[in-house]
A and B are shown apart, each in its own frame.
Chain A
Amino acid sequence: MSELDWIARAGAKAKGKRPAFFDDPAADRMLSMLTALIGEVSVMRQRLDTVERLLDSGAPVTRAAIEAYTPDTAAAQERGELIRDYIARVMRGVQQEVEAMAAPEPAIEEVSAALRDM
């Protein structure tokens, strides 16, 4: 076995100054943590999907069976839809901001004031 600490080296920083996307560096760090966490939850969900599919098939649910599992076309499509649905849920706020930019709206307070005496 090599002496390479693959876990430590896998996350090595690429050479080149990282852009700051936010004024507060903590916001950049938090976004990195959040994005990684969003990814890891997706991975856990897919692993659970694999377990469910092994259970459905009646095959013994072992770690080896999970590792060896390969989705067929239909299962891959369903798993892709799971990811799509999952991303749509966690990204809802950002997606709705895109929608909102398409049609600027007055604040509810203004709507309320305008309609009060109608």
Chain B
Amino acid sequence: MSDIAPPYAAVARHAVFPEPKHDDAARFDFLANFNKYLSGTLGPGNARAYETRVRPAFARAHGRDPVDRFEIRRAMNADPFHRLWSGLKRNSMEMRQHNGRAMVLRQLDNLDARAAALNDGKDTLRLDPGVEVPRYQRAVDIHCMPGSYHGEERPGDVSAGANYDCGLFATTAGGLGALSDGGGQALVDWVRRERPGWQPRRILDLGATVGHNVVPLALVFPDAEVVAIDTAAPVLRYGHARAQALGATNLQFVQMNAESMAFPDGHFDWVQTTMYLHELSGTALPRVIAEGVRVLASGGLMLHLEQPQYSDAMPLYEQFIRDWDAFNNNEPFWSAMHGLDLKQLMRDAGLPDVFVTGVRAVVDTSIFPDQSQGEEDHGRAAVWNAYGAWKP
């Protein structure tokens, strides 16, 4: 199976999942394999272009090698191969959005009704129209997703969440598993090995979007009170319905800004973010970490799953290629965030003993790709670093 992406038919259809028509699934099958091809077969061409002509030309012109990933990017952006590869990759993302939105918007009445049936009257969904979408979230539509997480095609709809959920498969070539929850499953796997028998009483997930990475925690800790917050109502509506459909009834979805939370000090035993910090502005990020530490109980765990941070130890070319999404896929904070010393930020926020560990998506490897094998799609792979600390 390793040469081809898993089929869209293997994606789990929970009760609010948009129903794909034959050709919707065929489009995602194409895109998953196309993305795999772009990263696996064509991706190495970027390094070859850099080594064989871009870097030599730069050295001739400047009398030295590039000193940072930005110089490499500017030089590579003039290379014909990198231009074509980038253009193909950008189009693939746009086609993924187009297909997801077509599938969702065509059946939006039905999706909204299904979500409402699961949401109405439940106190586990708490929306607050007073919560503003932060300016840094409104500036561009994150990863080329029209409307971002907060956009609505009509008031009160679930289109943003449904589109996000149904297309994660294509972007990651199936790397996140049937419920796109390989990150959440990895957390479960990690905590069971790290702290066998630990029973957190309250868990908080920041920037939860549709909750795909927190549902596994809610299910594995059924006695815990689990809270997922986000500023975007459409993904919370969808995520709550999705969680209910999957049996995670101990999971609350609350519209709240993680920079300033309404929870008391020391309220949670576990504060989690999964692929969230890179979507925060440079000002918001330290505030979110500080707020997270404030609401974390003594002895509690803060854990952030992210792509690896850049460091002096990481070759400049790798930093450049990992930065691709920042400039070509509407990830405005990706580059700066990955350049931060996250460990120091956490120390500064009151967590002295920061650890970093590697985490890979946990998926059903009889169908989905084993993330411990194979090539990496830099910046997209379901292979993360976990930056964690237990609060003193």
Q: Given A14-B144, A50-B22, A87-B33, is A98 in contact with B42 using a C-beta cutoff of 8 Å?
A: yes
How many residues on chain A are close to B (CB under 8 Å)?
A: 52
How many residues on chain B are close to A (CB under 8 Å)?
A: 61
Cβ of B52: which chain A residues have Cβ within 8 Å of it? 101, 104
CB interface residues, A 84-107, toward B, < 8 Å: 84, 87-88, 91, 94-95, 97-98, 101-102, 104
Partner pick for B3 among A12, A42, A70, A84, CB 8 A cutoff = A84
Q: How far is the CB of A44 from chain B (nearest CB, A)?
A: 8
Q: How far is the CB of B66 from chain A (nearest CB, A)?
A: 19
Determine chain B's interface SS by DSSP, over half rule. Answer: helix
Q: Do B42 and A35 touch (CB < 8 A)?
A: no
Cβ of A18: which chain B residues have Cβ within 8 Å of it? 90
Please report the C-alpha to C-alpha distance between residue A36 and residue B102 in the assembled complex, in whole angstroms.
14
Closest to A97 in B: B81
Q: Total contacts A to B, CB within 8 angstroms?
A: 157
Q: Given A19-B90, A79-B29, is A36 in contact with B95 using a C-beta cutoff of 8 Å?
A: yes
B37 lies within 8 A of chain A by Cβ: yes
Partner pick for A14 among B42, B95, B145, CB 8 A cutoff = B145
Closest to A35 in B: B91
A52 lies within 8 A of chain B by Cβ: no
Closest to A68 in B: B22
Q: How far is the CB of B224 from chain A (nearest CB, A)?
A: 36
Q: Do B4 and A77 touch (CB < 8 A)?
A: yes
Q: Do A97 and B45 touch (CB < 8 A)?
A: yes
Q: Do A15 and B10 touch (CB < 8 A)?
A: no
Q: Do A102 and B48 touch (CB < 8 A)?
A: yes
Closest to A41 in B: B30
Q: Given A2-B109, A39-B27, A94-B84, is A32 in contact with B91 using a C-beta cutoff of 8 Å?
A: yes
Q: Do A91 and B86 touch (CB < 8 A)?
A: no
Cβ of A76: which chain B residues have Cβ within 8 Å of it? 6-7, 9-10
CB interface residues, B 61-93, toward A, < 8 Å: 81, 83-88, 90-92
CB interface residues, B 89-112, toward A, < 8 Å: 90-92, 94-95, 97-98, 101-102, 105-106, 108-109
Residue of A12, A15, A32, A94 ringed by the most chain B CB atoms within 10 A: A15
B31 lies within 8 A of chain A by Cβ: yes
A60 lies within 8 A of chain B by Cβ: no
Closest to B25 in A: A46
Q: Do B81 and A2 touch (CB < 8 A)?
A: no
CB interface residues, B 106-140, toward A, < 8 Å: 106, 108-109, 139-140
B358 lies within 8 A of chain A by Cβ: no
Q: Do A21 and B90 touch (CB < 8 A)?
A: yes
Cβ of B146: which chain A residues have Cβ within 8 Å of it? 12-15
For the A-B complex with A10-B101, A16-B332, A66-B22 known, give 16 more contacts whose Cβ atoms are closer than 8 Å.
Answer: A4-B105, A11-B98, A12-B146, A14-B94, A14-B140, A16-B144, A21-B87, A31-B91, A35-B92, A38-B34, A67-B21, A80-B4, A80-B5, A80-B29, A83-B4, A98-B48
